[in-house]
Amino acid sequence: MKSIPISKSKQRLAEQPTSIASKAKALRNNSLLSRISSKSRWFSLIYRIFVYVILIDLAFVFLYPFLYMITTSLKHPVDLMNFTIKWIPTSLAWENFYYGMKGLQFWTHFKNSALISVLSVVGQVLSCSFVAYGFARIKFPGREVLFVLSMFTMIIPPQTIIVPLFMQYKTIGWLDSMLPLIVPSFFANGLRGALFIFIFRQLFRGLPWELEDAARVDGCGSFRVYWKIILPLTPPAIVVTTLLSMVWHWNDFFEPSIFLTSEEKFTLPMMLPRLYQSLDTLTGSSFEVFSLPVVMAATFLALVPMLLVYLFLQRYFIQGVERSGLVE
């Protein structure tokens, strides 16, 4: 009596794998790509080649400014005039970099730039994540209105408020110092501070509440929850914010050019338009001698710190963007 159901179930068991497999096969056959590839493998091959050709081609367009900068910066003036030479110089003119360093007065202005951008980054990461914790994890009346207001600051063009800011800083004696460039960062403002608040808030909202509740039951205050639990869980957001904030502060030209007046306080990129002038006074010769290669060497030098930072953070950065909850 009992043997029949067992054998039946065995039969069923034996049947199941094949039925699943055939279903899966049917499903796979149903999908467009495989339907086409079963008809002609050529289509998918051609499609792949097409994707690679386009990507390589466009990657070239995107790498072009860097390739151009590097190769041109290593050219002698003679090579520059020679139309048969497009990319590879006949001999490497390393002295362009020497003049570039000299013309930019690299180390002085590197120090200024580094000081401004590193301090701003520290300020923005700390203050924006702090504020974002409040916006993301604590309920209080007026939260939504304040958040919308903070996002609203993103669309205020700097030109609109630059005159009053200038007057304000003049009154308190901050002109020609780095304070106007650094201090707003510590108050979750500064360059695109609102964007960073947004990034942190998005990520904080996605973290499980149980973690926080457990910590609170154990007697953690909300500051310790933020500092010891929430912040360490979000390296992606920290990396993304650090890199973007660093690059934007480093390249910023509008505010430094208004608030800084004496040359020894200029940032590195601000020296680029003064390159010839500065080389002339330093070497006592006319700028005809220095040409495009020196300018390109200097431009490259002004960007090298950012390149190094990016190379160092690149892997974490791209993972970070994918996981940083920028996705709604």
Partner 1 sequence: MSGKRLSLERKKMLAGYVYIAPWAIGFALFMLYPLIYSLWLAFHEVVGVGNFDLEPVGWGNFNKAFVLDTQFIPLFISVVQDAVINTPLILVFSLFIAILLNHKIRGRAFFRAAFFLPVLIGSGLAMQQLLYAGVGRDTLVNGIGVPEEVFLYMGPTFSQIVFDMLSRLTVVFWKTGVQILLFLAGLQGISLSLYESARCDGATEWEMFWKITLPLISPIILLNLVYTCVDSFTDINNRMMVYIKDTAFTKIEMGYASGMGWIYFMFIFLLLIIVFVATRRFVVYTGEK
Return the residues of window 161-200 that contact partner 1 according to CB under 8 A. Answer: 161-168, 184, 186-189, 193, 195, 197
What's the closest the beta carbon of residue 294 comes to partner 1, in angstroms? 11
What's the closest the beta carbon of residue 77 comes to partner 1, in angstroms? 14
Q: Count residues binding partner 1 (CB under 8 A).
A: 94
DSSP codes, 153-199: GGGS-HHHHHHHHHHHHHHTT-TTSSHHHHHHHHTT-STTHHHHHHH
What's the closest the beta carbon of residue 293 comes to partner 1, in angstroms? 10
Query: Considering only residues 3, 114, 153, 262, which one is a binding residue for partner 1 as defined by CB under 8 A?
Result: 153
CA distance 84 to 89: 10
What's the closest the beta carbon of residue 95 comes to partner 1, in angstroms? 19
Q: Which residue from 187, 269, 184, 203 is spatially nearest to 241, judged by alpha carbons?
A: 203
Q: Of residues 199-258, which lie at the interface with partner 1 (CB under 8 A)?
A: 222, 226, 244, 247-248, 251-254, 258
- Report if residue 322 touches partner 1, rule: CB under 8 A: yes
Binding piece for partner 1, criterion CB under 8 A, among 56-64, 113-121, 207-215, 276-284: 56-64
Residue placing its CB nearer to partner 1 in the complex, 74 or 270: 270
DSSP codes, 76-100: -HHHHH-TT-SSS-SS--THHHHHH
CA distance 306 to 300: 10
- Report if residue 62 touches partner 1, rule: CB under 8 A: yes
Query: Considering only residues 155, 219, 232, 288, which one is a binding residue for partner 1 as defined by CB under 8 A?
Result: 155
Which residues in 188-242 belong to E strands, given as ranges? Answer: none
Q: Of residues 15-44, which lie at the interface with partner 1 (CB under 8 A)?
A: 27, 30-33
DSSP 58: H
What's the closest the beta carbon of residue 322 comes to partner 1, in angstroms? 5
Binding piece for partner 1, criterion CB under 8 A, among 9-17, 112-120, 207-215, 297-305: 297-305
Give backbone dihedrals phi and psi of 86, rounded to 5 degrees, phi first. -105, -55
Burial level of 297, CB count in 10 A (0-12/13-18/19+)? buried
Query: Considering only residues 154, 211, 282, 289, which one is a binding residue for partner 1 as defined by CB under 8 A?
Result: 154
Are the C-beta atoms of 74 and 94 separated by less than 8 Å?
Answer: yes
CA distance 235 to 238: 5
